[in-house]
């Protein structure tokens, strides 16, 4: 068993309860749809800073403590250390972030490892259709395999020219820019490949199984 990292902070029970209530109330739903050419999805507003959103506990991880592993419906269950990870192809990305709490942030510059490099190493079985992502803070989120098997999805370690800070999920977070940002798990730890979809942390609490911002898949 690997050691559990120390967690800094306290679970934000109030914030979690508020967000759960938003799902019940359908908060921020406009009933309108928009097209990606319009750049700002319905019900979103632009911000220039980079808000921090999580459960309130942040793992104290060094590059040495961090690793990513995969299991479930795969041909090659694996575990990458930081060195294994950094030996993978690196790529730059620029994207927009859309958080379900209604802030959006344009033009984020990233450096990371393409998710397709990870998938190529893992070799999901034909039965694998969904992923459950697990993080070092106990967070989880689910995604269809088709939504990570894309050119714009990556495991990010650098944001706007500097190593990803702990509050934004450093050393490594998942980035899935075409879905609401709660799918972009910070402090990513393990990916389970599954034949059936299962809800993660927010999905259990009323949030959408997929989370496409254009048709406002906020709640489900």
143 binds, among Mo ion, ligand MTE, none (CB under 5 to 8 A by kind): none
- Nearest distance, CB of residue 59 and ligand MTE, angstroms: 8
Give the interface segment with ligand MTE, choosing from 27-35, 76-84, 118-126, 185-193 (CB under 6 A). 185-193
The CA angle 188-153-50, to the nearest 5 degrees, is: 70
Secondary structure element (H or E) that encloses residue 97, with its range: strand 91-98
Stretch that binds ligand MTE, among 26-34, 48-56, 83-91, 192-200 (CB under 6 A): 48-56
Q: Could you list the residues that contact Mo ion (CB under 5 A)?
A: 53, 99, 182
Q: Which residue among 23, 131, 137, 210 contacts ligand MTE (CB under 6 A)?
A: 137
Cα dist. 180→82, 89, 133, 134 in Å?
Answer: 27, 26, 15, 17
Per-position b or e across 37-48, b if 16+ CB within 10 A of its CB: eeeebbbbeeee
User: How many residues are listed for the chain in this entry?
Assistant: 220
Residues 190-219 that bind ligand MTE (CB under 6 A): none
**Residue 73 sits in the site that holds ligand MTE (CB under 6 A):** no
**Rounded least distance, CB 183 to ligand MTE, Å:** 7
Q: Is 95 in the site for ligand MTE (CB under 6 A)?
A: no
Tally Cβ neighbours within 10 Å of residue 191: 25
User: How far does CA 69 lie from the centroid of its chain?
Assistant: 15
Binding of ligand MTE at residue 135 (CB under 6 A)?
Answer: yes
One of 182, 193, 203, 218 touching ligand MTE (CB under 6 A): 182
- Whole-angstrom Cα distance, residue 145 to residue 200? 15
Q: Are 153 and 175 in contact (CB under 8 A)?
A: yes
187 binds, among ligand MTE, Mo ion, none (CB under 5 to 8 A by kind): ligand MTE
Determine phi and psi for 6, rounding to 5 degrees: -70, 145
* CB 203 to ligand MTE: min, Å: 11
Residues engaged in binding ligand MTE (CB under 6 A): 50-55, 99, 135, 137, 139, 168-169, 181-182, 184-187
């Amino acid at each position: 068993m690997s050691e559990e990292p120390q967690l800094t902070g306290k679970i934000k029970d109030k914030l979690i309860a508020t967000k759960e209530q938003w799902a019940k109330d359908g908060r921020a739903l406009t009933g309108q749809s928009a097209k990606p050419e319009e750049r700002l999805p319905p019900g979103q507003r632009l911000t220039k800073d980079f808000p921090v959103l999580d459960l309130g506990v942040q793992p104290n991880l060094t590059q040495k403590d961090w690793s990513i592993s995969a299991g479930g419906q795969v041909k090659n269950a694996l575990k990458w250390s930081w060195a294994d990870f950094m030996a993978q192809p690196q790529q730059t990305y620029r994207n927009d972030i859309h958080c379900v709490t209604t802030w959006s942030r344009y033009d984020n510059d990233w450096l990371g490892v393409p998710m397709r490099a990870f998938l190529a190493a893992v070799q999901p079985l034909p039965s694998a259709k969904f992923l459950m992502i697990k993080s070092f803070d106990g967070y989880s989120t689910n995604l269809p395999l088709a939504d990570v098997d894309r050119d714009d999805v990556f495991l990010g370690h650098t944001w706007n020219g500097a190593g990803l800070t702990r509050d934004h999920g450093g050393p490594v977070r998942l980035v899935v820019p075409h879905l609401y940002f709660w799918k972009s798990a910070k402090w990513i730890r393990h990916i389970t490949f599954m034949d059936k979809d299962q809800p993660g942390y927010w999905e259990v609490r009323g949030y959408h199984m997929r989370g496409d911002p254009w048709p406002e898949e906020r709640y489900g």
